[in-house]
A and B are shown apart, each in its own frame.
Chain A
Amino acid sequence: MSIRQIDEQVIVRLSKGEESAFSLLYDCYYTYLNTVALCYVFDKNVANEIVNDVFVNVWHKRKTIIYPIHFYLVQSVKNGCLNHIRAQQSHDRIMSEHRKQLLEFQEEYVLSNHTPLEYIETKEIEMEVRSAVERLPEKCRVVFEQYFYLGKVPEDIATDLLISVSTVRVHIKNALDKLRISLKHLIGLTIFLIIKIISHF
């Protein structure tokens, strides 16, 4: 599965209403767009919702969609994330100043970071990440998966596994440190925005 597979022909077929073309677009982009969204909204369910909305929109607007579609998709996801962040800002009417500033910071992050993750071979990446996770020490991996994928809080994990909360935290951090090393090339350490944002406050 590669983003490269989405060529002009696929988009032409999509615009004609071919479901197979839409299905291919979904296969190639679903994971990528979800990771992009996760960079901005952090909650995996919210991210998934935003991505689904983008796909629904693409299907309904298929007649007007033209190749290339990549930046359109990324921008749509970003807009969805911005809407979510802004909705939070206006939703919590009474909000501490720094909370508000942090949301502004997030907003700024979305706006400035135009290519959040640069990878195109989703299947390969998936294998890579999966094997990196599987290489983690047993306990470390279990804690990591429960914390990240199942969204459990450290306190619950500690109770389930009969270990202390601080041990859970250590496991999580160890897992991240190991993954950071093995997935370094994916993350592409870009120093971001910094000066631009600081000048804002």
Chain B
Amino acid sequence: MQNEDSHIDDLMLDFFSGSISEKDRQYLFQLLLSNETYQSRFDSMIKLRAVSFIPYIESQKQDNYQALMRKIKSKPNKQPNRWLRSFLRVAAIVIFVISLSVASFYVYHDITALGNKDICYETIVPAGSQTKVILPDSSVVWLNSESTLKYYQNFGHKRRDVYLIGEGYFEVQKNMKKPFFVHTDYIDVKVLGTVFNVRAYKGDNTTEISLIQGFVDVLLTNSHQSTSFSLKVNERLIYNKQTQIISKYATEASKSALWTIGKLSFVDATIDQIAKDLERKFNVKIRIDSEQIKQEHFSGSLNLNNSLKEILTYLDVDKKFVFVQAGDTIHIRTN
């Protein structure tokens, strides 16, 4: 037993000095767990050892105090330094995040600005045909013949802008946050989500907007004063390019969109207006040689799937027209 105790003391001393072997460490640990008396021996050894160090610790006391004070005295410099360093670190992160977001803001806007200039989607409909365009926001535009619809890559970013020459029938998807603008030469139409028809042919004397559903704002772009008009369902706004007069009429607006299903509808239209539609649809030129006919007004609808000849015959209710074809020009006279 005496021998064993002595061996355990050896193990403990080696353990304290850190020179214990793995095997002995394991053995010591198992002893400590197995028996309370070993534990109390371990405990008292620890304390005895610690107390035995007192003279040594005392001998170091004064030198250590000098070292300690040097450490403390140098710390006031280090302390704010450390504060400063961590402050700078935080500041660096904050600046980095801010500059990153600013940079990405500009990069993003540069890209959209570039898109504004460079990347443009354009649909051109030749005379005699029609096309249906589905916009990125899934709004639908029917384009009548000889029409052009253009929009840029930033479409739908903050607002939805399209540029129209000719005639278009719009079914705009509702999005209160991103207003939809139809820009024409003289008139802009601002909508949130409606169905309407815009007719803005370059060759026409007038630009017309007919509202089929919902609500639109019409903005005059060509006038010096910026005037805007609200349009209600079944109202038609006509802007006369020559006189710059704007007039609003009650109309059966859905008729203005009949062309999308191959029909043409007229309400009190002159033969000139009808002729222009027919010219576009059939890609011909129509000349009205009779002043008398020019004074007449027509109402009704035409089925554009019929031949031009059938349509013209249909228009000639009183059977007084004479049609003369010369090349691709058709002359209408009275007999």
Contacts and interface: CB of A to CB of B under 8 A. Distances in A.
B48 A39 contact: no
Interface residues of B, number: 46
Interface string A157-201: 000000000000100110010011001001111111110011001
Contacts of A191: 36, 39-40, 43
B51 A183 contact: yes
Interface residues of A, number: 58
Most buried by A among B22, B39, B51, B68: B51
A23 B65 contact: yes
A26 B55 contact: no
A65 interface: no
Interface string B46-72: 111111111111101100110110011
Contact of B13 (A60, A125, A126, A172): A172
Interface string A27-54: 1001100111011001110001000100
Interface in A44-70: 44, 48, 52, 55-56, 59-60
B16 interface: yes
Given A31-B61, A38-B50, 6 more contacts: A102-B29, A126-B55, A129-B54, A187-B44, A189-B44, A194-B39
15 contacts: A30-B65, A56-B71, A56-B75, A102-B29, A116-B50, A126-B58, A130-B55, A173-B10, A186-B47, A187-B48, A191-B36, A191-B43, A192-B39, A192-B43, A198-B33
Interface of B: 6, 9-10, 13, 15-19, 22, 25-26, 28-30, 32-33, 36, 39-40, 43-58, 60-61, 64-65, 67-68, 71-72, 75, 79
Interface of A: 23, 26-27, 30-31, 34-36, 38-39, 42-44, 48, 52, 55-56, 59-60, 96, 98-99, 101-102, 105, 113, 116-117, 122, 125-126, 129-130, 133, 144, 148-149, 151, 153, 169, 172-173, 176, 179-180, 183, 186-194, 197-198, 201
